[in-house]
């Protein structure tokens, strides 16, 4: 992989090489992320008349969601033509501070006054997570107009990255990683809210555009393992298994998160 000096934002756009964008600071990171969302959603709307988009959970995306809600971006993205899904959800009620839906509600949905019928949350509050996973699978199919066994393709999936290499709620060495007959499955986390709902790898890998949203020095080591793998274990990390069948992956990093990437002069 050729990684140019992070002194300036750079893009690698070689086939089968992950595209990496390093923003100079968090402000630029949010701007770059907002532009990626605008471009991907506009492309889908112009092609299909609407966009099927999945939001990432965790705390990192809040910086992007808040930027998308600013006047600079709020009218640019055609939210009324976007069906908003979630990549994963903790099994807690929707008003719980740990809920990914709650985070999106506070930082994006309410500020932009998005239509409730465009927001499709996972029902983390249901007592049986498997039932909740099946219900969400039905919801995705119903909105996408795609009945089994066809698998609907999302136009844009935003993903976060845990420092153990998990993404969405696909954690290392868990059964969810191989549950690819489904669109949605039950994930098991080692920390925090243990039981979670998550899109499967197969569902994620059918997306047209996948953007990993990663910031902070705490992610530098796992970014190095993922983007410059040295071992078989590196190559088997859950986030390393995100390899879209026909889509495109972009890694949007800030400089601290990119710090472990060895640069080669060009
Ligand atoms: C979740 C996420 C998870 C998250 C990573 C990174 O529900 O927690 O979907 O995959 O993106 O754990 O989380 P931070 O952005 O908070 O570091």
In the predicted structure, residue 183 carries a pLDDT above the cut 90 = yes
What's the confidence (pLDDT) of residue 65? 98
Span 113-139, average pLDDT: 98
Span 222-226, average pLDDT: 98
Query: For ligand 1, is residue 58 a contact (CB within 6 Å)?
Result: yes
Report d(CA 240, CA 228) in Å as an integer.
11
Query: For ligand 1, is residue 217 a contact (CB within 6 Å)?
Result: no
Closest among 163, 172, 168, 237 to 200, alpha carbons compared: 168
Report how far ligand 1's centroid is from the alpha carbon of 167 (Å): 7
Query: For ligand 1, is residue 100 a contact (CB within 6 Å)?
Result: yes
Residues in the chain: 266
Report how far ligand 1's centroid is from the alpha carbon of 57 (Å): 5
In the predicted structure, residue 20 carries a pLDDT above the cut 70 = yes
Span 27-40, average pLDDT: 98
Give the model's confidence band at 265: pLDDT under 50 very low, under 70 low, under 90 confident, else very high: very low
Cα distance between the two ends of the chain: 12
Domain regions of the chain by residue span: 29-261
Q: Is 247 helix (H, G, I), strand (E, B) or coil?
A: coil
Q: Let me know: does 88 contact 169? Beta carbons within 8 Å.
A: yes
In the predicted structure, residue 36 carries a pLDDT above the cut 70 = yes
Span 82-89, average pLDDT: 98
Report how far ligand 1's centroid is from the alpha carbon of 89 (Å): 10
Give the model's confidence band at 146: pLDDT under 50 very low, under 70 low, under 90 confident, else very high: very high
Radius of gyration of the chain (CA): 17
Q: Let me know: does 81 contact 115? Beta carbons within 8 Å.
A: no
Span 184-201, average pLDDT: 97
In the predicted structure, residue 154 carries a pLDDT above the cut 70 = yes
What's the confidence (pLDDT) of residue 263? 72
Backbone angles phi, psi at 105, to 5 degrees: -60, -45
Span 7-25, average pLDDT: 68
Span 192-214, average pLDDT: 97
- The residue whose CA is least distant from atom 4 of ligand 1 is 58
Going from the C-alpha of 56 to that of each of 8, 88, 101, 261, the distances in angstroms are 27, 7, 10, 24
Query: For ligand 1, is residue 162 a contact (CB within 6 Å)?
Result: yes
What's the confidence (pLDDT) of residue 9? 43
Q: Let me know: does 72 contact 118? Beta carbons within 8 Å.
A: no
- The residue whose CA is least distant from atom 13 of ligand 1 is 58
Query: For ligand 1, is residue 56 a contact (CB within 6 Å)?
Result: yes
What's the confidence (pLDDT) of residue 11? 43
Q: Is 12 helix (H, G, I), strand (E, B) or coil?
A: coil
- Name the residue of 161, 186, 187 to mutate for ligand 1: max ligand atoms within 8 A of Cβ: 161
Domain 29-261 has CATH 3.40.50.1360: yes
Query: For ligand 1, is residue 88 a contact (CB within 6 Å)?
Result: yes
Query: For ligand 1, is residue 167 a contact (CB within 6 Å)?
Result: yes
What's the confidence (pLDDT) of residue 255? 98
Report d(CA 229, CA 100) in Å as an integer.
30
User: Percent of the chain having pLDDT more than 90?
Assistant: 91
Query: For ligand 1, is residue 59 a contact (CB within 6 Å)?
Result: yes
Span 55-78, average pLDDT: 97
Q: Let me know: does 124 contact 170? Beta carbons within 8 Å.
A: no
């Amino acid at each position: 992989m050729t990684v140019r000096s992070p002194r300036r934002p750079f893009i690698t756009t070689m086939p089968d090489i992950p595209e990496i964008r390093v923003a100079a600071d968090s402000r630029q990171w949010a701007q770059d992320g907002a532009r990626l969302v605008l471009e991907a959603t506009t492309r889908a709307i112009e092609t299909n008349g609407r966009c099927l988009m999945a939001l990432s959970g965790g705390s990192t995306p809040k910086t992007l969601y808040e930027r998308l809600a600013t006047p600079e971006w709020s009218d640019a993205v055609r939210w009324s033509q976007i069906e908003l899904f979630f990549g994963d959800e903790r099994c807690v009620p929707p008003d719980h501070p740990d809920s990914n839906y709650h985070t999106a509600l506070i930082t994006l949905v309410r500020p932009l006054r998005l239509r409730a019928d465009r927001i499709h949350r996972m029902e983390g509050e249901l007592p049986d997570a498997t039932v909740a996973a099946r219900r969400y699978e039905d919801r995705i199919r119903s909105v996408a107009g795609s009945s089994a066994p066809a698998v609907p393709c999302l136009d844009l999936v935003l993903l976060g990255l845990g420092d153990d290499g998990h993404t969405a709620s696909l954690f290392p060495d868990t059964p969810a990683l191989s549950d690819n007959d489904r669109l949605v499955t039950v994930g098991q986390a080692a920390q925090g809210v243990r039981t979670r709902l998550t899109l499967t790898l197969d569902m994620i890998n059918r997306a047209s555009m996948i953007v990993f949203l990663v910031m902070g020095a705490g992610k530098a080591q796992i970014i190095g393992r993922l983007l410059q793998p040295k071992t078989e274990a590196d190559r088997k990390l859950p986030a390393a298994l995100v390899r879209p069948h026909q889509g495109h992956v972009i890694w949007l990093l800030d400089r601290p998160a990119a710090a472990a990437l060895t640069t080669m002069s060009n």
